A and B are shown apart, each in its own frame.
Chain A
C-alpha cells in the first residue's frame, strides 16, 4: 500500500494529536497542536489544488493566521501569566496515549463502515485521521485535570470535525467556515479569560476540584 500526500497529511495530523496525549508538559503540547493544525492547513491547500476550489485557499489562510499562530500564542501567554507548566492528568499520560492509539485503530474500522465514500479521491484513510482527531480531543478532555487542557482538547476535537468536512465534503461554503473560525476564536478567548478568574479566585485551575455546585 502506497500512501499519497493527501493521506499522509491527514494521518500525520492524527498521529501528532495522539502524541499530545502522552505529554505531561503543556508547552510542547501546544506546539504539537500548532503542528497538527499546520498539517491540516497543508491538507486544505492540497485539496484546493486537487478540486480546483479557490475558496479553500482563503480558508487555509484564515486557519493559518487564527489557529496555527493566534490561538497557540494566546494560550501560551495565558500559561505564562497563570504559571502552569504541566498537567499530570487523571490517568498517567502514557496510558492515555495508548488509549489514543487504540482509538486510531477503532477509527480505521469505523471509517470503512462510513456510507457513501465515492468521492474521486479515496477518503477512507483521511476519514480515519479525522475521526481519530475527534476521539483524541474527547480523550484529552476526559483524562486531563487542568482547565487549560480542556480548551486544548476542545480545539483538537474541532480540528477533527474540520478535517472531516474537508475530506468527506470538500469543505463547507466559505462564509460558513469563516463564521465557525470566528466562533472558535471567541470561545477560546472567553474561556481563556475565565481561566484567569478561576486562577484568581480558586488559586488553582484543576477542574476536578470544581464540585461546589450539586443538587444536595
Chain B
C-alpha cells in the first residue's frame, strides 16, 4: 500500500505545483524534471519484475503489477516525460507567437492528472477500477485537446468527450456482464478482481462472459480508435497541441488496448481463446486496412499521423488476439517511440510554417535540413522499415499469424502496410522538396527529444533478434 502512495506522490505534487506557481517557465521545468523522477521511481519498483526475479508484485488489495503491466507503465511514463520535456520548447515558441501564456496552468494540471490516471490503469487488478481510471483519462485529457481555444478545437473536444464517454459506458455494461457471469456461474460469487476471475474462469457463466467480452471490446475499442468507431480520433489528434497529441497517441491508445488485453485474458483462461482470437484478429485486420487506405487521401499533416495510429492500433489488436502479451508490448513500444518523435517534429514544423495543410508545407529540406532528416528517419521508423524497431514487431506479428494459419490476415496486412508506406512516403516526400520562403535555425531544445527517440527506435531495431520475440508456440 505504501508503494502505491509512493507512486502517486510526484504526480499529485506536480498537480498542486502547476496550479499554484505564478511563473509558467518554472512550472514547465519542474514538471519535466518531476516526470523523469517518476520514471526513475517506477524503474526501481519494477526492476525485480523486469529481471524476472518476481512474476508479480502485490501493491495492496486489488492492486498488483506484472511484467507486461510494468513494461506498459514504464512506456507510458517515458512518453509523458518526453512530451513534457519538449513542452519547454513548444510553449516558449507558442508564447513568442501569441504573446500570452494562455491556459498553461490548467494544461499542466491536466497533464499530471492524466499521467496519474494512466498509471492506475496498469496497477489495478480490478475491472471496476480499470473502468474508472480509463474514464478519468478521457476527462483529464479533454482540456489538453481544447488547449488552443479555437472553434475547431472546441468541436474536436466535444466529439472526443461525448463519443468516448458513450463508448466507455458500453464497456461498463460489459464489466457488469462479466461480474454477473461470476454470480450466475458455478461458485455463485461475483468478483471484479481480474486475477480471481482468471483463476476461476472455468466456473463463469459462459454466455454472460461472452456478452461482457464483446461489450468491453467495443467500449474500450472506441477509445483506442478501432475502425468503425474511430471518428473522434483524427479530429482530436489534429486539433490538440502537438505534445498533447504525442501523449494521446503514444500513451493513451495503449491504455485503452490494455483494457481489451485484460478482458481477453479472462476469455483465454475460460478456455474460449478461439472466439476472442477470431474477433480481435478480424477487427484488427479491418482496422489496419481502413487506417492505411485513409492515409492515401490526406490533406492535413497531423491527421495523417492520426490515421497511421489507427493502423497501428489494428496491429496491436491482432497481437492481443494472438494471445501474446509480449508481442503487444513490443509493438506498443515501437509504435509509441516513433510516433511521439513524429508528433513532436510535426509540432515544430507546424509552428514554424504556421499551417497544418500538406499543400502549404513546402521545402522543409531547404528551410531546415535537420528537421527534414529527422522527419525522414522517424517516418521510416513508424512505417516499419528496417533497421528500425517497428520492422521487428510487424514482422513478428506476420510470422505469428502465419504460424496459426491466418493467411487472409497475413495477405491483408502485407498489402495494407505497403499501402501505408507508399502513402506516407509520398506525402512526406512532397513536403520535403521544393523551395522554401524562409529558413529556420532551430535551437537544440527543438531537436533533442525527437532525435533521442529516433535513436532509441534504431537501437530497439538492432538490439533484438527476430527469433527471440516470436513468443507463440
Contacts and interface: CB of A to CB of B under 8 A. Distances in A.
A213 B151 CA distance: 10
A180 B132 contact: yes
B158 A198 contact: yes
A156 B434 CA distance: 55
Given A158-B169, A176-B129, A176-B132, A210 B155 contact: yes
A170 B182 CA distance: 12
Given A173-B192, A176-B126, A210 B179 contact: no
A83 interface: no
Given A147-B158, A197-B154, A213-B152, A180 B166 contact: no
A65 interface: no
B155 A168 contact: no
Contacts of A175: 128
B192 A168 contact: no
Contacts of B156: 213
Contacts of B139: 183, 186-187, 190
A216 B299 CA distance: 7
A187 B154 contact: no
A201 B176 contact: no
Contacts of B205: 115-116
Nearest to A202: B151
Interface in A44-58: none
B208 A116 contact: yes
Interface string B297-340: 11100010000000000000000000000000000000000000
Nearest to A198: B154
A216 B169 CA distance: 31
A4 interface: no
Q: Which of B146, B238, B239 gathers most chain A CB within 10 Å?
A: B146
Nearest to B155: A210
B166 A212 contact: no
Contacts of B158: 147, 191, 194, 198, 207, 210
Interface in A105-121: 115-119
B456 interface: no
Contacts of B208: 115-116
Contact of A180 (B172, B235, B239): B172
A150 B190 CA distance: 33
A9 interface: no
Contacts of B299: 215-216
B128 A183 contact: no
Contacts of B192: 172-173, 176
Contacts, number: 123
A201 B169 contact: no
A201 B294 contact: no
Interface string A176-199: 100110110011001100100110
A183 B138 CA distance: 10
Contacts of B21: none
Interface in B205-223: 205, 207-208
Interface string B222-264: 0000000000001100110000000000000000000000000
Given A183-B136, A186-B139, A215-B234, A169 B173 contact: no
A172 B128 contact: yes
B184 A116 contact: yes
Contacts of A212: 151-152, 155
B142 interface: yes
Contacts of B152: 212-213
A154 B165 contact: yes
Given A169-B180, A173-B128, A215-B297, A187 B135 contact: yes
Contacts of B172: 158, 161, 180
A176 B176 contact: no
Contacts of A134: 173
B154 A157 contact: no
- Chain A: number of interface residues, binned into ranges: 35 or more
B122 interface: no
Contacts of A165: 176, 179-180
Contacts of B129: 176, 179
Nearest to B174: A161
Contact of A161 (B142, B169, B207, B297): B169
B166 A141 contact: yes
Interface string A142-153: 000001001000
B388 interface: no
B135 A183 contact: yes
B161 A176 contact: no
A170 B183 contact: yes
Nearest to B185: A116
Given A164-B176, A173-B128, A176-B126, A157 B155 contact: no
A89 to B, nearest CB: 17
B227 to A, nearest CB: 14
Interface in B142-198: 142, 146, 151-152, 154-159, 161-162, 165-166, 169, 172-173, 175-176, 179-181, 183-185, 190, 192
B179 A169 contact: yes
A190 B136 CA distance: 12
B131 interface: yes
B294 A215 contact: yes
A176 B172 CA distance: 11
Given A154-B166, A213-B156, A115 B207 contact: yes
Nearest to B231: A213
B161 A190 contact: yes
Contacts of B161: 187, 190-191, 194
27 contacts: A116-B181, A116-B185, A117-B184, A141-B166, A161-B172, A168-B176, A170-B183, A170-B190, A172-B176, A173-B128, A175-B128, A176-B126, A176-B128, A180-B128, A180-B132, A187-B138, A187-B139, A190-B139, A194-B154, A194-B158, A194-B161, A202-B151, A207-B158, A212-B151, A213-B238, A215-B303, A216-B299
Interface of B: 126, 128-129, 131-132, 135-136, 138-139, 142, 146, 151-152, 154-159, 161-162, 165-166, 169, 172-173, 175-176, 179-181, 183-185, 190, 192, 205, 207-208, 234-235, 238-239, 294, 297-299, 303
Top 5 A-B residue pairs of the complex, sorted by shortest distance between their CB atoms: A176-B128, A116-B184, A115-B207, A179-B132, A169-B180
